[in-house]
Structures are given as structure tokens and as C-alpha cells.
A and B are shown apart, each in its own frame.
Chain A
């Protein structure tokens, strides 16, 4: 199976996503923003549709749209502090609706089907996409190693972080933007419906396995590698959709740990 170029690229992408997912996922979970990933992936459907409609490179238009919305989310998180799901409900359905309307308006060519973006196509990934993922992975690893301590303090408790002199607002917005960019790049690969599962589940599993903060990240990377690679191989042999297969493997690992721990 490794003789096929598309499978090689799929494996390369999977390994890169496995490195990113636990870092972002852990902070998303601890900041109670697990659903934000889902919201942004729906918004990024709209971003892609807008790019296609305007005739620009959908990747860049998408990144721009998602980054703007990630900023708006931080604002809404403030306004509806006690009911923060409201902003998620509004933006998730809004993103989906916008995507569908934009695709309806786009009658230039029947080439693009929403299906491809909903369910992803890890096996049709291009060399350019692998490169962009690689750059993103390097950026995230560098940022994580530089800002690990401030992020630890911020996620433990925002108020004590503020009194310790951290620019909490700025950090929150930057984190959301980084999440947005990641989702915009990963969404076409794994599909809008499963982006958040792939980002959140490895960290959700490893939180139960590790006592320490760093441990969660390392174990999370291991879990993500197992899930992504097994899922990809499974989908190759069984002919099932890759994103869904990966997610089911994560959920199986999660259930096993829930039963035995």
C-alpha cells in the first residue's frame, strides 16, 4: 500500500496531524472550548465555499475567514460568559448555512461537491497540502515550547494568570487564531464533520492516562499516532471513509480505557 503516492502522502499528513492534535486538543479541552473546533470547522466550510465562489485559492480565503471568526468567538465568549454555548450554536449553524447558500450560488462548475469537504479526503491530499501541514506543525511545536509555561498558567485559572501579569486577552485571541488556522488546513483533509474529533479525542484519552501536564501531551501524541495510522490502514483495507474510521478507533480506545481504568 505504501507504493502508492497518495498513500504515502496520507501517512505523512497523518503523522503531522498526530503531532499537532494533542497540543491544541488539550488546551481546547481545558479552556472548555472543545466545541469551538466543531464551530470553526463548520465556518471553514463557508470559507472554502466563498473562496470557490470568488475564484480565489480556497485555502487562503478559508484561513482568513476562520481567523476572523475565531476573533469574533473570543468576543462572544465574553458577552455570553455564562452561556457560552450560545455563540457556538449561532456560528455553527451560521457557518453551515452560509456554506450551503454559497455553494448553491456557485454554478460555475459541478466539480466541487460539498461531500468532499464534509467527509474529507485524506487519500486525495496534494503535495502542497503536506508542505503546509509540515510548516504548521513546526510553528505549533515551536510556539508550544516557547509559551508552555504562560499557557499552563492561563489554562489553570485565568484570574490568577491575570494577577501574575499575563496578557490573558491577547493570549486567548492568539490561541483561537492558531486553532482557526489549524482547522482551516486540516478540514479539507479529514472533513468538517470530524475535525474536532481528531483534534480533541487524543487529548481526551491521554488526560485519563497521565498524571502530569507534559505527560498528557506525550501520551496524546502516541495515542494520536496509533489512532491515525490504524484508522488509515483500516480504511485502505476495508474501503471505509478514513476520517470516520480514525474517529471510531479513537472512540474504541476511549471506551477500553473507560472500562479498565
Chain B
């Protein structure tokens, strides 16, 4: 693990979020830095996805603030790769081949108005291979199974090669071996390539060896229904492995 002043990618400061008048998230603070592999857990209905959407700017916090770094460790514009929760978001009727969709991951890398070059195509190939979907590249995305759709969503973000990964339960439906592989890949990305990772997940037991930060959303005693808070909020420990 690289020591010292790692760059701060996400800073959540005393965030609260209400749907209408109902408090859903309250006093939440944490940070995710370059090189962090952070997992976000909490029981069902703990508004984990809502928290991610606040961080991404898709929702506005009712109170407090979220700061996303503008730059990456190299001083270039920070590129964020977001994988939403699968079932809800995958546009299955969309007329596109697997290759077209995964290639579109390269567009935010300065390729909105430029042709993809050799390096882009290499990235796309590698990322399709890493999820075992290279052979399926000419298939129409609507014909894929649920698990395959999930894999190409992951490949699309891998192709993007973002500085910060924000992943909402990306391993749902994967078998144990694939999950292990996936975690290893993410761990490698954070450790060796200084990527920041924030991942919502349920299987925090098996991920223990890979992640180095654990953020858990819990409900405070005696507080109203659906009010959750971060237990580590007060402590603010800089300790990387603060598992509970």
C-alpha cells in the first residue's frame, strides 16, 4: 500500500438526504481517496443507491455536501465510471452490438468527436476479454442473458479506464469464482493503478481480504424509521481497515 498523502477523490461531509419530508440519510461523512477500495454496505432499504446518486450529482443533498475531485492524480480531468444497479437500468431494447456498447466506454476519454484509435480498440478488446465476452462481441445486446448484460456493463466501464469507479452491486448473480476474480481485478486496479473504488455490496464477508475501507450504513437507536447514519462518522479514523 502506498503511504502518505493520497489524493482525495470523494469527500462526503455531514450529508443528509430527504425524500419529500422523510429523512432517508443523515449525518454521513467519509472519504474515498485514490488507491482506496471502499465497500458500502447496509441492510436492505438503507438507501445505499441513493447515497451513490447523491455522490454522482444525480440527486441533491438536503444538507451537507459532496465534493468530487475535479482532477485525477496526474492532474487531468477526473473520469468517473458508474455502473448502476443492473435490472433497473439496462436498456435491453437498445439496438446495439456488444462491441458498439463497450466501445462507447472510450468516448468520455476525449473521444466524443474523434475516431477511436488503436489504443482505444486495444482497451476495448482487453476489457471484453477480462469479463469473458470477447467471443460474443457481435451479438445484439438485447439477446444476452442477465448475467452477460452485467458483464458487458462492467466491460464498458473497464474500457473507460476511469480514475474513480462507482459501482452499485455489480456482482449480483455472479457465481463465487467470478466474484473472486472481479474483486481481485478491482484490488489490483486500486493498489497498482491508484484507482479509487466505491462499491455497494452485500457480500462483505468474502470481500474482506480485498477491500481496504468499509463504510456501513446503520440505523441509529431510537431514531425515526428510515433514518440511517454512519457509525464511523464521529471517529473519522484514518485507519484503512476499520472493519466491523
CA distance A162 to B53 in the complex (A): 11
Judged by a CB distance under 8 angstroms, whether A155 is at the interface is yes
On whether the beta carbons of A149 and B80 are closer than 8 Å, the reply is: no
Q: Does B100 contact A (CB under 8 A)?
A: yes
Q: A211-B95, A212-B96 are in contact. Are A163 and B107 (CB under 8 A)?
A: no
Does A153 interact with chain B (Cβ within 8 Å)? yes
29 A–B pairs (Cβ distance < 8 Å), ordered by A: A26-B95, A30-B95, A149-B107, A149-B112, A150-B107, A153-B104, A153-B108, A156-B94, A156-B96, A156-B104, A157-B84, A159-B53, A159-B56, A159-B58, A159-B82, A159-B89, A160-B84, A162-B56, A162-B58, A163-B166, A164-B80, A165-B77, A210-B95, A211-B95, A212-B100, A212-B140, A213-B94, A213-B97, A216-B95
Please name all residues of chain A whose beta carbon is closer than 8 Å to the beta carbon of B108 when the two chains form the complex: 153, 164-165
Does residue B209 face the partner (Cβ distance < 8 Å to A)?
no
Q: Given A149-B112, A156-B104, are A211 and B82 neighbors across the interface (CB < 8 Å)?
A: no
**Chain B residues in the interface with A (C-beta under 8 A):** 53, 56-58, 77, 80-82, 84, 89, 91, 93-97, 100-101, 104, 107-108, 111-113, 138-140, 160, 166
* Sample of 11 more A-B contacts, CB < 8 Å, known A156-B96, A211-B140: A30-B91, A149-B104, A149-B111, A152-B100, A157-B89, A159-B82, A160-B82, A163-B57, A163-B80, A164-B108, A212-B97
A110 within 8 A of B: no
Q: How far is the CA of A149 from the CA of B112 in the complex (A)?
A: 6
Query: What A residues does B138 contact at CB under 8 A?
Result: 211
Which residues of A does B touch, CB under 8 Å? 26, 30, 146, 149-150, 152-153, 155-157, 159-160, 162-165, 207, 210-216
Q: Please give, as numbers and ranges, the residues of chain B lying within 8 Å of A215 by CB-CB distance.
A: 95
Rounded to whole angstroms, the CA-CA distance of A165 and B97 in the bound complex is: 23
A215 (CB) vs chain B CBs: closest residue = B95
- Min distance, Cβ B143 to any Cβ of chain A, angstroms: 9
Interface-central residue, B84, B93, B95, B111, by most chain A CB under 10 Å: B95
Chain B residues, Cβ within 8 Å of A160: 82, 84, 89
**A163 & B104 in contact (Cβ 8 Å cutoff):** no
Q: Which of A146, A150, A155 contacts B94 (CB 8 A)?
A: A155
Contact B113–A207 (Cβ < 8 Å): no
* Contact residues in B for A216 (Cβ distance below 8 Å): 95
Q: Contact: A153 with B82, CB < 8 Å?
A: no
Contacts of B95 in A (CB 8 A): 26, 30, 207, 210-213, 215-216
Which of A155, A159, A164, A210 has the most CB atoms of chain B within a 10 A radius of its CB? A164
A150 contacts which chain B residues (CB < 8 A)?
Answer: 107, 112
Please, which residues of chain A bring their CB within 8 A of the CB of B100? 152, 212-214
